[in-house]
Structure formats: structure tokens, C-alpha cells
């Protein structure tokens, strides 16, 4: 197998981004709804997104700064209000999700401009995306600019305080079928994946060690 070694001390930023986002894949997509301090709804996708703990139930998103070094609307809104909703994205919603990534101004709402239906949340003020198969209402647990010197992004941890799920696709008392869920994920460049795919397989954890 031919292997090349890349030294990140000399790799330029674009090449580093291209490589890491291509090999750290697929990444789930958090479609994050927030409210500005003056109550305007905002919605944008983030694939630097993970669950980091079930107890307390904690998720992480990492909005990178804008090119001018300012916070993206999502990061600023979460810092200012302490609340957000992570909406998971089904394949049927992929075009709307992509459209909502356009750099709209802070005074514009992606819900209105893209025509995305919103539903009031129960425990937080930002609305959820009505047709999302699963929406996670979150309160801010930690907001850190990273790195300390010349930060380039925010590391946002949220505690999940409520979830709303489509019970046609998310069983509450048994395993959830990823094919029924049909979520989209982000890979390198403009590639996306789907959890509905012929390549899915089930692999139970080992019950004992066999040499
Ligand atoms: C699928 C997808 C994933 C994205 N993931 C991220 C991400 O993890 N971090 C980020 O800073 N921007 C990401 N973006 C770009 C943001 O969505 C985009 O900058 C958006 O305009 C931010 O909106 P806001 O200023 O309203 O927060 C992603 C875009 C797409 C389409």
C-alpha cells in the first residue's frame, strides 16, 4: 500500500482542511436553530458535531469563525442566549439544509427565506425544524474559544434537555433502523452520505476474546 506522510507544520490551511474533512467522515450534520438576543430565528448546518456523553446527555458543535474573525451567527446567538436546538437532517431535507448554509445576514431568518417550517420548542426558546426526524433541545453547558491564542472557532457543549422524534422512524422501545431514519452525513468536498444504504450491516460486540 503506497503511503505519503504529510507534515502539518508545512501543510497549508486549505490542504489541512481538505484532508481532515475527507478522512474524518462521515460526519453527522447538526442543523442548529437559535434565536438572536433580540429574538430573530437563525438556522445553519454544522458537521463538526458529536455526542460526547450520555450522562449528562451532552452534544458538541464547533462553529468556525467567519473569515473576518467574527463569530458566526449561530455561535454568537448561543453565547448570548444560552440555548439551541440540534435538528438531525433527513435525506428529504438535504436541499433546504444546504440552502440554509448561505451566509445570510444576522437580521435575516433562514426559516423565512428558505421556507422551512418551524415548531415551538418545549424547554428552550429557539424553535425546532418541524420535519426533522429528531430535534434535541439544548441548554449551553460550556462555550470556549479555541485555541486560547488567536482563536479560530468556538467549542460549544450543550446539555440535551428534551427531544422530539418522529416515531414512524425512531422506535422508542427497540433498535432504530438507520435505513428508516435516512439521515444525511457530510464527507469531504461536496460529498454526502445517507444512513439509508445497502452498505449498512450489524456487528454485535464481542462476547469473549478469541485468539
Ligand atoms: C453540511 C454542512 C456542514 C457545515 N458544517 C460546518 C461546521 O461544522 N462548522 C462551520 O463553521 N461551518 C459549517 N458549515 C457552514 C455554515 O453552515 C455556514 O457558514 C453558515 O452560513 C453559518 O450560518 P450562521 O452564520 O447563521 O451561523 C457547514 C455547511 C454545510 C452545508
pLDDT band, very low/low/confident/very high, at 20 (cuts 50, 70, 90): very high
pLDDT at 10: 96
Report CA torsion sign: 184, 97, 40, 147: positive
Where residue 197 falls among pLDDT bands split at 50, 70, 90? very high
Q: Which of 17, 46, 71 to mutate to test the pocket of ligand 1 (most atoms within 8 A of CB)?
A: 46
High-pLDDT (> 90) share of the chain, %? 95
User: Which pTM value belongs to this model?
Assistant: 0.97
* Residue 40 CA, ligand 1 centroid: distance in Å: 18
Confidence band, pLDDT 50/70/90 cuts, at residue 6 = very high
The dihedral through the CA atoms of 195, 176, 117, 28 has a sign that is negative
CA of residue 177 to ligand 1 center, whole Å? 27
Amino acid at each position: 500500500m503506497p503511503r505519503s506522510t504529510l507534515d502539518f507544520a508545512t501543510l497549508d490551511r486549505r490542504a489541512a482542511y481538505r484532508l481532515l474533512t475527507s478522512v474524518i467522515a462521515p460526519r453527522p450534520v447538526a442543523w442548529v436553530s437559535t434565536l438572536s438576543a433580540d429574538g430573530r430565528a437563525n438556522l445553519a448546518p454544522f458537521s463538526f458535531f458529536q455526542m460526547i456523553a450520555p450522562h449528562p446527555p451532552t452534544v458538541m458543535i464547533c462553529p468556525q469563525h467567519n473569515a473576518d474573525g467574527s463569530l458566526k451567527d449561530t455561535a454568537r446567538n448561543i453565547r448570548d442566549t444560552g440555548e439551541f436546538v440540534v435538528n438531525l437532517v433527513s435525506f428529504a431535507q438535504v436541499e433546504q439544509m444546504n440552502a440554509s448554509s448561505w451566509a445570510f445576514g444576522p437580521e435575516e431568518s433562514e426559516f423565512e427565506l428558505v421556507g422551512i417550517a418551524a415548531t415551538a420548542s418545549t424547554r428552550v426558546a429557539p424553535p425546532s425544524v418541524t420535519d426533522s426526524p429528531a430535534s434535541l433541545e439544548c441548554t449551553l453547558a460550556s462555550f470556549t474559544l479555541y485555541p486560547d491564542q488567536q482563536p479560530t472557532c468556538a467549542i460549544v457543549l450543550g446539555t440535551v434537555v428534551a427531544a422530539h422524534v418522529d416515531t414512524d422512524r425512531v422506535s422508542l422501545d427497540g433498535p432504530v433502523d438507520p435505513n428508516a431514519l435516512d439521515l444525511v452525513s457530510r464527507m469531504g468536498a461536496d460529498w454526502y452520505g445517507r444512513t439509508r444504504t445497502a452498505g449498512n450491516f450489524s456487528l454485535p460486540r464481542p462476547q469473549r476474546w478469541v485468539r
